[in-house]
Amino acid sequence: MTLISLLLVLLVERVTTKSQYWQAEFYSNKYNQSIESGNWLNSSSKSWVLLLVIFIPVLLTYLLVQKFSGGLVEFVIGTAILMVCVGCPNIRATYKCFLKAASEGDLQSCSMYEQQLRDKQDGSTFGQNLVWQNYRHYTAVILWFAVCGAAGAVLYVLVRDIELRLNQDNENETSNPVAAQATFILNIVDWLPVRITAFGFLLIGHFSNAFPTWLGYLPDPTVNAKTLLLDVSKKAEEIEPDESDCTEEPCTLVKLAKRNVMFLLVTIAILTLSGWID
């Protein structure tokens, strides 16, 4: 069931444009707005309040799926939830606009689209941020769904979006305990998936170049997930700089990320056939 849901969702997500009702951002924004209106999360909020805000929707999802456990309804509900959680149409649209502008030789528009997705804080490139966003909106969600079902996918999306919202709302504050707690929780839920994703880069890329980097980060619990993933991706897919082609770097890294998703699907298929995953 898990493998069929994944294949179906990725196929539909690839060939169609999802409406806002099939996007996680629509529901997470509504949820975050209700939290803000109730002033549940502020600088003086306790840790248990943040955990409660995260785990109530996750628990409700789990109970809903369990109510219809073992039948077609469970498959439909799980697949529908995964459809909502996977993907980010806004980023896909920006990337497509970038490629179209590049094909038309419109370098000014290309630069504008790059700036929309480039993270100025860590200095990562356009292509590296596409790899990071692919992980956050595809790979991590897939891994959590494969292990914990629909509730796992909801858990990751909620933690990701709540952490992002809190840090954006408090970016001018020198210290915000709740935002720091959300970041800590995100680091926990990212710890294993990002290492599995980076290991996939080793197997489909330059293993000998990337393995020492991956191995060096493996036992380090303090390393940032984005730092780990991007450092390994740079080693796994060496790119020759080409000033005449602005699409070389992003297209190469996007292909790496897509190959990795396919590799994970093959791995999940093998685990399904062997009985490790339902």
- Cα(142)–Cα(155) distance, rounded to whole angstroms? 12
Pseudo-torsion of CA 54, 166, 134, 128, nearest 10°? -150
- Cα(254)–Cα(251) distance, rounded to whole angstroms? 5
Q: Per the structure block, which two tokens stand in for 40?
A: 């549940």
What's the structural domain count of the chain? 1
> Looking at the whole model, is its pTM more than 0.85?
yes
In a domain, 172, yes or no: yes
Lowest-confidence region among 5-9, 27-31, 57-61, 219-223: 219-223
pLDDT of residue 132: 95
User: What range defines the domain where residue 33 resides?
Assistant: 2-273
- Sign of the Cα torsion 172, 44, 48, 26 reads negative
Between the alpha carbon of residue 97 and those of residues 87, 242, 275, the distances in Å are: 17, 20, 42
Q: Per the structure block, which two tokens stand in for 119?
A: 């993270």
In a domain, 87, yes or no: yes
In a domain, 176, yes or no: yes
pLDDT at 232 over 90: yes
In a domain, 58, yes or no: yes
Q: Is the CB of residue 5 less than 8 Å from the CB of residue 75? A: yes
Q: Is the CB of residue 124 less than 8 Å from the CB of residue 178? A: no
Lowest-confidence region among 171-175, 207-211, 251-255, 268-272: 171-175
- Cα(276)–Cα(243) distance, rounded to whole angstroms? 47
Letter string b/e over residues 160-182, b meaning 16 or more CB atoms within 10 A of that residue's CB: bbbbbbbbeebeeeeebebbebb
Percent residues over pLDDT 70 in the chain: 95
Give the tens place of pLDDT for each residue, 63-75: 999 998 878 999 9
In a domain, 51, yes or no: yes
pLDDT of residue 150: 96
pLDDT at 184 over 70: yes
Higher-confidence residue of 120 and 256: namely 256
In a domain, 278, yes or no: no
In a domain, 149, yes or no: yes
pLDDT of residue 200: 95
Higher-confidence residue of 157 and 167: namely 157
pLDDT of residue 227: 93
Please count the helices (runs of H) and the strands (runs of E) in the chain: 12, 0
222 pLDDT tier (thresholds 50, 70, 90): confident
Q: What average pLDDT does the chain have?
A: 89
In a domain, 41, yes or no: yes
CB neighbour list of residue 61: distance below 8 Å, 6 or more residues apart? 81, 150, 151, 154
